[in-house]
Amino acid sequence: MSATITAPPRTALARGARHDGARARRRRVLVWIATHALAIALALMFLAPVVFIGLTALMTDEQALTSALWPQSWNWGNFAEVFEKSLLLRWAGNTLMYAALGTVFTLVSSVPVAYALARFRFRGRRLAFLVVVTTMMLPPQVVAVPIYLVWARLGLTDSLWPLILPLLLGDAFSIFLLRQFLLTIPRDYTDAARVDGCSDVKTLLRVVLPMARPAIAAVALFQFFYCWNDYYGPLLYAGVEQEKLTLSLGLATFKAFHSVQWNLTMAATLLVTAPVIIVFFLAQKVFIEGVTLTGVKG
């Protein structure tokens, strides 16, 4: 008499396979969390203030800054009220003009200097680079008074031009970053361009600049963010008229006039910081690439 072996039903096998698959997925998730625990903790630490600002911006005036952390009602009208009670669009236009022109002027003036310091061989090249780097250590408050007097004599105070025009003379940090990146480009490319009859200007425009796009993008983002968030410069030169303020300075005045309405203050803060966050997330790939590819050669 032969014994028969009964195969387990297919449903039991399927349930067992699903159970094993779920257990493996949970194990992978736990391993990933354990591996990135420090990064997750830092991310939560940095996201907490943003979440707090966003939730407070949607609260009522009575609920803001109370023990309640979640809005009792979602007051999206707070953002519209910010536009009604401030010149936010005008401030955004002034800030965009400052940031855009400042970024363009910085690139136009800094790229040729960085190229000369990285590629040209002339006496005093290292000393010139040392002077450029040294200027980064000079606090702007040290020369604020004499520079302000110069712009006052030229009649350009009460405007943003004293902050924009000096960028035509270059920026020390941008020159340093671009120069370090250009040192990583093999000299064979520029030598081949010169053999083909290209001048130094054509070599810079047709060979070097296309290869230096990551560094140029990183410098552009650095300068754009600096101009967008600049508070000290507009405080000195923009004056007291509301129509001439930038977003950072306008936000400070808005907070002074609405210090008891924290929901509106947080809504205005969120509106001011949102464009910078969006620009960074859209351009973070090229930004990180430009920073990480910057050479360390001297």
- Tell me what pLDDT residue 9 has: 58
* Res. 17 pLDDT band, cuts 50 70 90: low
Contacts 24+ apart (CB under 8 A), 279-283: 279/221, 279/224, 280/221, 280/225, 283/217, 283/221
Q: Of 124 and 179, which is predicted with more confidence? A: 179
**What is the arithmetic mean of pLDDT over 137-143?**
84
The per-residue pLDDT for range 85-110, each reduced to its tens digit, is 888 899 999 999 999 999 999 999 99
What pLDDT does residue 31 have?
85
SS3 1: coil
Return the axis-axis angle of helices 88-119 and 213-229, rounded to nearest 10°: 140
**Across 134-142, average pLDDT:** 84
Predicted confidence at residue 62, as pLDDT, reads 80
CA angle 213, 218, 221 (to 5 degrees): 125
Tell me how far apart the alpha carbons of residues 9 and 48 are, in angstroms, rounded to a whole number.
51
- Reduced to 3 states, what is the DSSP secondary structure of residue 180? helix
pLDDT-derived band at 285 (thresholds 50, 70, 90) equals: confident
Q: According to the model, what pLDDT value does residue 33 have? A: 83
Q: Could you report the per-residue pLDDT of 119-133, keeping only the tens digit for each?
A: 888 888 888 888 888
**Global confidence as pTM:** 0.79
Highest mean pLDDT among 18-22, 106-110, 188-192: 106-110
CA–CA separation, 290 vs 271, rounded Å? 28
Q: Give the contacts of 283 (CB within 8 A, at least 6 positions apart).
A: 217, 221
Residue 289 has pLDDT above 60, yes or no: yes
Can you tell me the mean pLDDT for 238-245? 85
Nearby residues of 231 by Cβ (< 8 Å), 6 or more positions away: 248, 249, 252
Of the pLDDT bands very low, low, confident and very high (cuts 50, 70, 90), residue 77 is: confident
User: How much is the average pLDDT of 254-263?
Assistant: 78
Query: Which pLDDT band, with edges at 50, 70 and 90, does 1 fall under?
Result: very low
- Measured CA to CA, the distance from residue 190 to residue 203 in angstroms comes to 6
pLDDT of residue 4: 53
CB atoms within 10 A of CB 143: 11
pLDDT digit string (tens) for 21-39?
A: 677 788 888 888 888 888 8
Neighbours of 209 (CB within 10 A): 14
The DSSP annotation for 105-160 comes to HHHHHHHHHHHHHHH---TTHHHHHHHHHHHTTS-TTTTHHHHHHHHHHTT--SSS
pLDDT digits (tens, 9 = 90+) for 38-63: 888 888 888 888 888 888 888 888 88
pLDDT for res 8? 54
- The amino acid at residue 116 is A
CATH of domain 76-291: 1.10.3720.10
The pLDDT-based confidence of 297 (bands split at 50, 70, 90) is very low
